[in-house]
Structure 1
Amino acid sequence: MQQLTKSWLRASDHLANSVLEANRATLAALGFNNGSRSETKQTKPNVKSVAYDEQDWTDTRTVESPEDIQTGDVVTFSKTISEEDVHSFARASGDTNRLHLDDSFASETRFKGRIAHGTLVSGLISAALARLPGVVVYLSQDTRFLSPVEIGERLTAEVEVVEVLDTNRFRLSTAVTNEDEEAVIDGEAVVLVDPTPDGDE
């Protein structure tokens, strides 16, 4: 029993350290240093949402207040998937599959070259949801991966409210498209939208 307890504690410590390192890598990839946002990476917060923006990013939305969200409202978010994004995501997530990182290896696969991580690409859906007004809490996401994404492609995530489930719970269609407007991901999400905390405009 004592040996089992020691093994469990070692495994727990390893998991906690892995999560900590992944969080640190994610913060570094997003431009945070020592708990503060780097001035070279950050622009001012988008005052209409709780998300920060970068130069390459664009977004749109059809609703400005959490209380006004209704069926048919749409939010979009666009960015280019860069080499840096792929390497930062690999470090943050631990997904170091050579398909995403090794040109020689990837050239011998069905894709004939490196592709972006599917979960990195689907993260653009989360980025679009973050630009809904209010504080968005993910409850579920169903995702279908339809097409690979090459590094350097500019993508657009679009989320549309398709059902109001409760006063602050919504079901949304979710999609990511490439520059040719071809879907690379589709699915649906359920989110909870809380009001923005007092003091934040």
Structure 2
Amino acid sequence: MAIFINGYLHPAPRHHHGLVKESILRGFLGLNYPLVCTAAIKRIYSVMRRYPGQVIVWDVIRAEVYNVPLSIGVEGHFSKCNIPYMRSAIDKLATSGLPIWLTEEDVHYGPNQATILEQVIREAHAHPSVNGIVLWSAWDSKGCYRMCLTDNNFRNFPTGDVVDKILREFFGAVIKATTDVRGFYKTSLTHGDYEVTVPDLDI
């Protein structure tokens, strides 16, 4: 399962400790560039050394600045959907040549929430420069921030039905493959249960 690290360098004091917290906070408030850089570099290396090769994207500051590899993160909080505007905005960002991630994607609660969510996901997925979509829909028993996919018994809301339908449509294809000479085959799959069939047991 691909892992996405969100906001591990953040100006809010509660997210850091000791010298790093003090340096980052003082730097952001006082615009002390060398102090911010020093604290940020220490923080980045202290975290990244723990998870080498395990994380696909490091969201450094509030889904706005990425490093290793460099990408563009666009927060996706929607209340309505203007597809032509969304497409033109992504097109403009794509001129940078950098891969784009739609992060924190959610749709404000309303009668058209599921419809808008589907429109946004399909438009983002169809753009060749969009490398990933991260939904802002973490479940909480007291209620989600703006968009839940399930109720407290994990029964789908209409938004959850949309996500399941799109996952089946986009990623439900049957994969037929042959292993390499060492017996390995590598591919990218979404999180879930899979059935594997090996037709030739004499290998």
Please tell me the TM-score bracket, short chain as reference: under 0.3
Higher strand share: 1
Q: Report the TM-score when normalising by structure 1.
A: 0.21
Q: Pick 1 or 2: higher relative contact order, CA cutoff 8 A, min separation 6.
A: 1
Q: Which has the higher helix share?
A: 2
